[in-house]
Amino acid sequence: VDIAELKATLRAFAAERDWEQFHSPKNLSMAASVEAAELLEHFQWLSEEQSYALPPDVRDLVAHEIADILIYLVRLADRLDIDVDRAVQEKIAINERKYPSDRVRGNAAKSTTYDDQEK
Ligand SMILES: [Mg+2]
């Protein structure tokens, strides 16, 4: 996904429908959360094993929820003039410092349980 291109596509989509008025950061962050809940709904009550072996039609629906979430996040970033590529690079660097592989390998505990590094 080319984020800059997606931002422009979504901006045009909203403009053509006069929907900018609804696309406040508040509303877009809520919409992203609603779409995340729709994603969870497809996995609710499944076993770990079942969650890997989705029927093709459900897998397609999951793919569309992933797209919905990404779309709202990119739209939110556009409205707040946030550089998503930079934010992702920064966050990966933070996570690499926070979870040094030699200390956390094979351990899913939160960093707060093993030290008091940057949160
Ligand atoms: Mg959806």
What is the average per-residue pLDDT within 99-113?
Answer: 87
pLDDT digits 0-9 by tens, 16-67: 999 999 999 999 999 999 999 999 999 999 999 999 999 999 999 999 999 9
Beta carbons within 8 Å of 99's beta carbon, 6+ residues apart: 111
| Interval between CA 118 and ligand 1 midpoint (Å) | 34
What's the number of CA atoms in the CB half-sphere (13 Å) around residue 9? 9
pLDDT digits 0-9 by tens, 60-104: 999 999 999 999 999 999 999 999 999 999 999 999 999 999 999
| Interval between CA 59 and ligand 1 midpoint (Å) | 13
| Interval between CA 71 and ligand 1 midpoint (Å) | 10
CA distance 57 to 23: 30
Instruction: Report whether 70 contacts 47 (CB < 8 A).
Output: no
pLDDT value at residue 115: 63
| Interval between CA 28 and ligand 1 midpoint (Å) | 13
The residue ranking higher by pLDDT, 113 or 41, is 41
